[in-house]
Amino acid sequence: MSTCVYPGSFDPITNGHMDIIHRAAMLCDTLIVAVLRNSSKRHPLFSVEERAALIRRSVANIPNVTVDTFDGLLVDYVKSKGASMVVRGLRAMSDFESELQMASMNRRLAPDVEMLFLMTSSEYSFLSSSMVKEIGRMGGDIHGLLPDCIAETVRNRLIGR
């Protein structure tokens, strides 16, 4: 039975993330979407617990996907879950450079943990959580950029409701 981990900050989860989740879920028995408690990210829109709840709502119809939170080294978390693979999404070459560095370090720390890179579908290659937040804060329409079931919650947070 294979378990994979898809880590990220997901502040908020976007349709680009969902694209990776749907595709990765077909490649393993269990996919854990793991929300990182990242202290270097200043002023998150949602707390880690709120992000996990938004993701749970978004993946409710994918039976082999679970949501968790973690801090510390990714490879330690992966091993603690009995996982054998980490899934990462790539949008552009610039993503590849930083992901390659992280993958190389993770390989050094945990040679038995594989890294799987999935290219985001072209319709989402421009999309990031930061972009969603910027558009929403300026009153732009964020529907279609993130799961419909959370769009209103995110919009309300962005405009201060």
Which amino acids are annotated catalytic?
17, 41, 91, 129
Taking alpha carbons only, the member of 48, 25, 18 closest to residue 148 is: 18
Q: Which 8-state DSSP code applies to residue 43?
A: S
Taking alpha carbons only, the member of 9, 8, 13 closest to residue 153 is: 13
String of DSSP letters for 26-37 = TTSSEEEEEEE-
Helix (H, G, I), strand (E, B) or coil at 141: coil
Count of CB atoms situated within 10 Å of the CB of 82: 10
First to last CA, the chain: 44
Q: Which 8-state DSSP code applies to residue 66?
A: E
CA distance 18 to 124: 10
